[in-house]
Amino acid sequence: MAACVDLPVLPVTRISLLHWNDLAAYATVMPVQMRRRVEPGAPAEPTIESMSPVCPRTPNFAMRDDSQMDNLHPASGITADSAIVRPAAVDGPGVWPGSERRLPEAERPQRIVVIGAGLGGLAAAVRLAARGHDVTLVDKRDQPGGRAYVYRQDGFTFDGGPTVITAPWMLTDLFELAGRKAEDYISLVPVNPFYRIFFNGGDHDGEHFDYTGRSAEMVREIRRISPHESDVTGYLDFVRLTERIFAKGFTELADQPFDSPLDMARVAPDLIRLESYRTVHNLVSRFVKDDRLRQVMTFHPLLVGGNPFQTTSIYTLIHYLEREWGVWFAMGGTGAIVDGLVRLFGELGGRIRLDAEVGEIMTSGRQATGVRLASGEEIRADSVVCNGDVARAYQQLLPASVRRKYTDRRLARMRYSMSLVVIYFGTDRQYRGTDGPELAHHDIILGPRYGALLKDIFTNKTLSDDFSLYLHMPTLTDPSLAPEGCDAFYVLSPVPHLGGKIDWATQAKPYRDRIMGFLEENYLPNLSRHLVTEHMIDPRHFDTDLNSYLGSAFSVEPVLTQSAWFRPHNRSEELSNLFFAGAGTHPGAGMPGVLSSAKIVDDLIAADDRGEPMSVSLQEMAADRLGRLMTRTLGR
């Protein structure tokens, strides 16, 4: 095994999350003024100050304050621009001032079963346990985390799924609301650049685009790759629009239940004004001309299972989210977040049962009464929260007799996101750009075809010869994830879900060989000689291990007619005390999405506790018709 070469050591102790506990309680009810940074040398941003300066539900998350960033280590690549700091007005880091900052205790504690220990399930379980409910979390797998499962082999630690952490306050909130300090459980560090994007796959010419949250850097990169000067102003105009989309789509809507069509009616004019009926690619193309730049500005929906050519432009809010609050990584990997949540849940009195597959949600009339495990054991409950895939839950856990809306036919008609091939691998050498391109923590390698490849994946459902890849190289940030002198990677390729005709039993190996050969030739010299450990998943894993319908990696596809009210609701439309937290319900996939869904479920159960009215079935029916009409009219 090669000796360790002079790795830049991250000053972890100096960059662990600072404290912003003091804002925790009142920030959820008090508008927080959003502060903007000033970037020397950056072109003037068009009227950015004038745009929705108040973010009504931007929570207890510290705003950036460059003046507090002097102590960050320059070698870490961590810049003042990307670090989170505690607002200057807040005294005493780590001071926890009292119980009013915790979630209020439920008046009538319930027995609650949560099916699935994915991030949405864990977050819901923590919230509910923090309110004093008696919560049992059951998962069919041998480890918690769901898609954030951790593979440990031959001294390497591989995060199975999420690696790009955005909206970090949504994680830290979970600890704060339970009366704990987040930094006692998890340590998040900023990643810069957010992404290094390589163009044209096989024709690798070393050209890449460093995608960051700073306008000056972005403008420099845009000028480097685009011959159109108008793309600079176009980009800045686009940023301005994404702020407005964020204010509506994230701040106002992401943590609201959308279980009444009136919710939809209320926001519809804004959504129309913000051109949500356009697709992400269509909207971006109005602002920038260069084709490669369009790719750079439109790949984000793929992170939540959407095709940029079909996903509603609401998802451009991800640009703004990343730009304003950065991209983060958990030291120890995302698995460390799962461990932190599991520990917290245990401390709150929650119970986790692994290797415990739920075979049925038991019902009486229109009420869930608990779950029956595949083993036959019954666990009674006053409410059931399902974090497993929504489609599979309706198909397999609830008898057809109680399903008025989500019939098998309807579930089959819905659209599901693509699947993935992911290869986790470790090398007995480190790749630091000496004999190949210099890689970043998050690398996106775009193939020679963009729109056509996505069409093959999402529409034709065929396995193409070419591919676009996401290459994860966490050892650049946390060397402890591999033995000394080694690197840990995963490479991810979007592929069609199982609704196509691909025989993965015969196709998986050749596909793997093509990807690894491509990486060896273009990015990781002599990879095959240095490969010391490997594990691979394909759509069958999502189908069988994770119980996801059609092996979809991100559940229900995020198109307009399957968003907000049109998405399966957080409170089941079939049973009044069955709730969904996770990727297939509102607001959608990705860590911020599933953490929001957990908050919604917690709010709904708390509202039940207070005896507040539920949504009305007549409204449901009216909006159902509206949904179908929209589907027919828009054709998606």
Positions touching ligand FAD (CB under 6 A) are 115-121, 138-141, 146-148, 161-164, 303, 357-358, 387-388, 420, 422, 492, 546-547, 553-554, 582-583, 589-591, 594
Minimum distance from residue 132 beta carbon to ligand FAD (Å):
23
Minimum distance from residue 273 beta carbon to ligand FAD (Å):
28
Where do the H-state alpha helices sit in 41-163? 119-130
Cα dihedral sign, 75-300-326-598 = negative
State which residue, 472 or 530, has the beta carbon closest to ligand FAD. 472
Q: Which residues contact 632 (CB under 8 A, 6 or more apart)?
A: none
Minimum distance from residue 70 beta carbon to ligand FAD (Å):
30
State which residue, 287 or 424, has the beta carbon closest to ligand FAD. 424
| Nearest-angstrom CA–CA distance, 70 and 160 | 35
State which residue, 174 or 594, has the beta carbon closest to ligand FAD. 594
Minimum distance from residue 138 beta carbon to ligand FAD (Å):
5
Q: Which of 162, 158, 187 is nearest to 172 (CA)?
A: 187
Using CA atoms, how far residue 589 sits from 179, 447, 552, 558, in Å, is 27, 24, 11, 8
Task: Give 361's strand partners.
Answer: 371
Q: Which of 257, 190, 247, 319 is nearest to 32 (CA)?
A: 247
Helices 261-273 and 617-634 pack at an angle, to 10 degrees, of 30
Minimum distance from residue 449 beta carbon to ligand FAD (Å):
22
Minimum distance from residue 28 beta carbon to ligand FAD (Å):
22
Using CA atoms, how far residue 259 sits from 69, 350, 555, 566, 570, in Å, is 42, 28, 19, 9, 7
- 72, HSE (Cβ side, Cα atoms, 13 Å): 22
| Nearest-angstrom CA–CA distance, 566 and 557 | 11
What secondary structure, in 3-state letters, does 107-133 show?
Answer: CCCCEEEEECCEHHHHHHHHHHHHCCC
State which residue, 25 or 492, has the beta carbon closest to ligand FAD. 492
State which residue, 284 or 581, has the beta carbon closest to ligand FAD. 581
State which residue, 121 or 261, has the beta carbon closest to ligand FAD. 121
Task: Give 188's strand partners.
Answer: 330
220-9-320 Cα angle (round to 5)? 35
Minimum distance from residue 119 beta carbon to ligand FAD (Å):
5
Minimum distance from residue 431 beta carbon to ligand FAD (Å):
21
Cis peptide before 168 (omega within 30 of 0): no
State which residue, 287 or 406, has the beta carbon closest to ligand FAD. 406
Minimum distance from residue 540 beta carbon to ligand FAD (Å):
13
State which residue, 235 or 258, has the beta carbon closest to ligand FAD. 258
